Every structure is written in C-alpha cells, then in structure tokens.
C-alpha cells in the first residue's frame, strides 16, 4: 500500500467535507456539522485563508486529512492548532494518520511555531493512545467554552 501526503487543494473540498461528516458521526454529533464546501472554499482558499490542510491520497482517493490553523498564545507565542485529523475508517491502522500527524508537526516547525495544540474527546481511546506514543501532554484543567452565532446574536440583542 502506497499513499502520498500533499497540501490540500480547493478541488479536494467535497471529499474533505465527507470525511468531516464521517468524523462527526464517529464523535456522535453528525447534526453539528453546518459547514459547506462553499464556506470551506472561502475560508481556506479565499483572499484571507484562515486554515490549511494536508490530505492523504491512496489510489487517487483522499482517505485522510489534517486541518490546522494558527493561534496565538500570550504565554507561548505562535502555535499551530490541529483542528482535525481524520482517516476514513477502512484505512485506519495503516500509518496514514501517523504520516498526516508527522507532516503537520513538520509544518509547525517550518512556520516558526513554538508548538502544536489540539483537543481529543476523553472517551476516544484510540486517539488518546495514538497521541501518547508522541509523548503528548494531556491537560484536564481547562474547560472548553463556545458560543454559536445565534447565541452571540441573542446575547448582543441583534
């Protein structure tokens, strides 16, 4: 089996969104995906891209993705944030996730980041075990917070 890792392209987005939906199903939240190919195109390939990605290609089919963006830590400086790393279920366990993760780590160094951060669900043991192999530090002290667009409008009375 031979796969390649390359930078994602605009024409990859329909397949990328399929993989995002597959991940959402695995994470028991398929109803939470409201992103569209058009939004991803604007946000990743428009005049002010806010994310980048790598794709894993096997037999001319995208079987995995790594989506990242930059964030800034007042304590650490420029960081790479790994939003998602996804390998389609049928291709897991073949080194594709490792290759995507390694390429993303390399990108963090190439772009002058002081490190990379990400989140993992506390019940996702395969992912947790994968990250442990890298010596990742797990932080149980922080609580995730978010407000959706409708929540923000309600709070601001817009």
- pLDDT tens-digit profile, the chain (158 residues): 699 999 999 999 999 999 999 999 999 999 999 999 999 999 999 999 999 999 999 999 999 999 999 999 999 999 999 999 999 999 999 999 999 999 999 999 999 999 999 999 999 999 999 999 999 999 989 888 999 999 999 999 99
Q: What is the CATH number of domain 3-156?
A: 3.40.630.30
Catalytic option among 51, 69, 81, 131: 131
Active site includes 69? no
Domain boundaries, the chain: 3-156
Cα(123)–Cα(7) distance, integer angstroms: 30
For residues 58 and 92, the answer to whether their CB atoms sit within 8 Å is no
Question: Who's near 83: CB < 8 A, 6+ residues apart?
Answer: 51, 67, 68, 69, 118
Cα(47)–Cα(67) distance, integer angstroms: 18
């Amino acid at each position: 089996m031979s796969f390649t890792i390359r930078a994602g392209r605009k024409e990859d987005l329909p397949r990328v969104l399929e993989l995002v939906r597959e991940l959402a199903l695995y994470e028991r939240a398929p109803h939470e995906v409201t992103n569209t190919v058009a939004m991803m195109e604007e946000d990743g390939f428009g005049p002010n891209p806010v994310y980048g990605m790598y794709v894993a290609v096997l037999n001319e089919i995208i079987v995995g993705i790594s989506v990242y963006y930059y964030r800034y830590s007042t304590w650490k400086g420029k960081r790479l944030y790994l939003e998602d790393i996804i390998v389609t279920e049928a291709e897991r366990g073949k080194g594709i996730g490792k290759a995507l993760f390694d390429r993303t780590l390399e990108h963090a160094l190439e772009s002058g980041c002081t490190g990379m951060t990400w989140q993992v669900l506390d019940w996702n043991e395969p992912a947790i075990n994968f990250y442990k192999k890298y010596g990742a530090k797990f932080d149980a002290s922080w609580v995730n917070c978010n407000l959706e667009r409708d929540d923000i409008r309600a709070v601001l009375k817009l």
